[in-house]
Amino acid sequence: MQQQIMLKIKAVRPATLLAGALLCIGIVPVAMAQSLLNGTQEAQLSAWLGEGPLALTSIYTKSAGDTSFDFHQAADGKGRTFSVMQASNAAGQTWLVGGYNPQSWNSSGTYNMTPEARDRTAFIFNLTSGQHFLQTPKTYALDTVGSYQTFNDINAGPTFGIGADLGMSADLSTNGISSRYSYIDPVNGIFGASLLDGAPYGSYPNVTFGAMQVFSISAVPEPASYAMMAVGLLLLGSVRGRRRPQRSQQA
């Protein structure tokens, strides 16, 4: 009998199991905005990060009229994130691009600097083309270029590198820039190339941004952990349910 119960628990999707357990104790999850990422794209980001399956939680979704202030209000101090946005070039072609920031965003007006190679763990990506680019490594000629990890300013959206390799202006839409310097393979890469279409250095701005989301990152618990948590919450709900009649009798 116990084995049959465990098999049934394993057959339930972890998200469904957790939602059911939360409902049992009166916590109803708030409906989430539609994600810019599908399952395949989430798996791709997890593979590029290389830490196993990830749980991505939307902490900011751009709304009409939003500015960089709204982004920073939602994302500053929230730990490492993926920023994902729709981006178009001058020809109107659109890609889904973004970047991984291993540090918290802030509004200091300064760069997050990573002079040591071991700290250059950020990357920018183009999910449409299936490419991602790590911070430029240290070489005899390029000691500091890759150290400019992110730019943090109240008047800028999520901005990566000194290029800016991927940069958003205060309105989170127009006057965007992609000119890769801090995120490039110095052997095979082209300095100044756009993350969108690979076009070399040209006139700027060269990017217009559309929809945008920022996701916090956490590891996905093992299915057994979900099951144990759900069972514990169900037992807690059962105990509370048994106590309620006793309280009413005493009253």
pLDDT given at position 237: 58
pLDDT given at position 205: 92
> Domain of 219?
33-232
pLDDT category of residue 24 using cuts at 50, 70 and 90: very low
pLDDT of 213 > 80? The answer is yes
pLDDT tens, 136-164? 998 867 789 999 999 999 999 999 999 99
Distance CA 83, CA 215 (A): 6
pLDDT given at position 160: 98
Residue 246 vs residue 5, higher pLDDT: 246
Domain assignment of residue 42, yes or no: yes
Domain assignment of residue 209, yes or no: yes
Under DSSP, is residue 110 helix (H, G, I), strand (E, B) or coil? Answer: strand
Domain assignment of residue 242, yes or no: no
Residue 220 DSSP one-character state:
P
pLDDT above 70 covers what percent of the chain?
Answer: 75
Residue 174 vs residue 3, higher pLDDT: 174
pLDDT category of residue 233 using cuts at 50, 70 and 90: low
Count how many domains the chain has.
1
Domain assignment of residue 244, yes or no: no
Distance CA 131, CA 216 (A): 21
pLDDT tens, 59-101? 999 999 999 999 999 999 999 999 999 999 999 999 999 999 9
Distance CA 142, CA 167 (A): 21
pLDDT of 28 > 60? The answer is no
Domain assignment of residue 186, yes or no: yes
Domain assignment of residue 239, yes or no: no
Domain assignment of residue 238, yes or no: no
Domain assignment of residue 76, yes or no: yes
